[in-house]
Amino acid sequence: MTATGPQDRSPYVGLRSYRRAESELFHGRDREAREIATLWQAAGLTVVYGASGVGKTSLLHAGVLPRIDRERADVLPIARIAPRMPLAGVRGNPYVVALLSCWAPDRDPHELSELTVAEFLRTRPERSDAYGDPLPILAAVDQAEEIFHGDPVGEKDRAAFLGQLAQAVHEQTGLHLLLALREEYLFLVLPHERPLGQGSRARFHLRPLSREAALEAVAGPLEHTSRTMTREAAERLVDDLRTVVITDEAGNESTLELDTVEPVQLQVVCSALWESLPADVLEITEAHARMYANVEEFLFDFCRTAVAEVAAHFEMSPSEILFWLRNTFITEHGTRNTAYEGLQQTRGMPNGVARALRERRVLRAEHRLGIQWYELAHDKLIGPVTRAESPEVYLRSAREALLKRNWDAAHRLAEQAVRASELGEVWVRAEAAEVFATVAAANGEIETARRHCEEAVEIYAGRQRFDGVARVLTADARLWMAQGDNTKAIERIKAALSWAPNDLAAQMTLAEALLRAGMPRASAAVVNGVLDLLPTHLLQQARELLRLSA
């Protein structure tokens, strides 16, 4: 048996889109590709719309373009009109320049900036069929929502661009436009359908893959590798992707079997399976799929990676974003929930975070009466989002939030640590109580802070965590000092040192309390007794106490 060789790269593209050259690997969309190709050549305007991640870009490049006979149509390169940063000396409408640069990538942008869309088309050599008749011109714009929605500053340029496009359609009777966009932006296109289609227009709603189409998308790409897959293995993968287990807060489980499969999730799972298989596996059986294709794990990794990227970009904790996702978009019944985008925030999270998660196919959006609403991109993501991080991760993130003085985030993360403690570990409650105490003290809620300190001390003492007891009693002493009761503070610190005599932070707090209580010599004696042992971050405090005690 020959093992898979280095030439056998993964036939699955993962999160990126299929390219034109990869049309042989693109399976499961034959009907849609043929229908869209037919509509594009017949109608003045064809609008292809669907949810983010449903595969619009892949379908255009690897499905539709290969079905266009180049002897019967003049096909322009598929464009994406995201206005670029203006080049030095390049004037003109940025949307027009972006479009023409896609259509003519080798031409000078300075030259293109002097042309309208109609003028550019007039300057192109006219192509004719075998009978001498001019060929229809097919022009497609992918991610076309970018020309209907964006920064208000660009509204004037967008309106002018759409006017130019309508004028070009009017002048060039053989020009056929195709716009592919996310379905939540379809409503923005409706007012422009008549001028852009000149009375001839069609819409195509691209939906997720049916079960049979998903089976083709799983097994088909392997035709060009040394591997094959049994029907049973493909069915197991697809049916795992179609099955959703929902667990409510009471622990009750229910199972849903969906009719469709999300293409992006199928690609994530198939790519991960390919990488997981031993190199000498040439026939992927149901046993291999069962052993190596952990769909929940693959989707969890996908979700965790997306959240980590967004968190890094916005300088946030991934746990905080996961906490927000879970508590915003999953109901107590374990089903998907929705939240609308406010002026600045979506349920307490900056709108930029929600939009970034939408771009990474974790969330999807829908416009209702001019307001954008978000939900998880698919029911299959409920499990990965619900799956708890370890309590340690949440506690670490809570402490990081404390360092940044982000009190609300610290409190939320500590609460989530308690929830994530499936076995009810009391140490988690103790460490969370420390966080709660710090937050309460920062907010001036001294009595609340003290109650949390007492709770933490009781738990630590019961578990003989002497360091924890000393740490919390020292924090409690600082609360008493803040209230001006230095006698009580000294009492609490001495109690701390009875548990952990060598705790340097407690020793320094005792020295400070003694100084405040009018006992400078006693304060200096404490500092001098530990001076040689102090770490760098406590030396400055020690020197200052000695100066004040002199």
**Which pLDDT score, from 0 to 100, does residue 543 have?**
82
Contact by Cβ (8 Å): 517, 511: no
Q: How far apart are CA 14 and CA 221, in angstroms?
A: 13
pLDDT in the model for residue 389 = 61
Token pair recorded at residue 186: 């379809």
H helix count then E strand count, the chain: 25, 17
Q: What is the CATH number of the domain that holds 233?
A: 1.10.8
d(CA 39, CA 415): 54
pLDDT digit string (tens) for 300-317?
888 889 998 999 999 887
266 in any annotated domain: yes
Give residue 14's pLDDT: 85
d(CA 168, CA 349): 43
- pTM comes to 0.66
Q: How are beta strands 137-142 and 175-182 bridged, if at all?
A: parallel
Is 481 part of any domain?
no
pLDDT digits (tens, 9 = 90+) for 514-525: 988 889 888 889
Shared domain check, 165 and 74: yes
Do the domain assignments include residue 506? no
Q: In the numeric block, which tokens belong to residue 205? A: 């709603």
Statement to judge: residues 306 and 345 lie in one domain:
yes
Distance CA 134, CA 137 (A): 9
Of 386, 258, 362, give the one whose Cα is nearest residue 302. 362
Digit-coded pLDDT (tens) for 137-177: 999 999 998 888 877 777 898 999 999 999 999 998 899 99
pLDDT above 90: residue 31: yes
State residue 383's pLDDT score. 82
**Confidence tier at 85 by pLDDT (50, 70, 90):** very low
In this structure, the answer to whether residues 164 and 307 fall within a common structural domain is: no
Burial class of residue 260 in the structure, from the number of CB atoms within 10 Å of its CB (0-12 exposed, 13-18 middle, 19+ buried): middle
pLDDT tier for residue 3 given thresholds of 50, 70 and 90: very low
- Whether residue 194 contacts residue 10, with contact meaning beta carbons closer than 8 Å, is answered with no
- Do 108 and 202 fall within a single domain? yes
pLDDT of the residue at 6 = 40
Looking at residue 250, its pLDDT comes to: 60
Tokens 């852009």 correspond to 196
C-alpha 396/C-alpha 402 separation (Å) is: 10
* The domain boundary residue, chosen from 346, 366, 386: 366
Q: Say if residue 258 is in the same domain as residue 318.
A: no
In this structure, what is the dihedral angle of CA atoms 166, 169, 175, 176, given to the nearest 10 degrees? 40
514 belongs to a structural domain: no
Residue 445 lies in a domain: no
Q: By residue range, what is the domain housing residue 38?
A: 20-207
pLDDT at 464: 84
Q: What is the pLDDT of residue 528?
A: 87
Are the CB atoms for 206 and 49 separated by under 8 Å?
Answer: yes
How many domains does the chain contain in total? 3
C-beta of residue 247 within 8 angstroms of C-beta of residue 382:
no
Q: What is the pLDDT at residue 83?
A: 54
Residues across the chain: 550
* pLDDT at position 2 over 50: no
Q: Which pLDDT score is estimated for 367?
A: 79
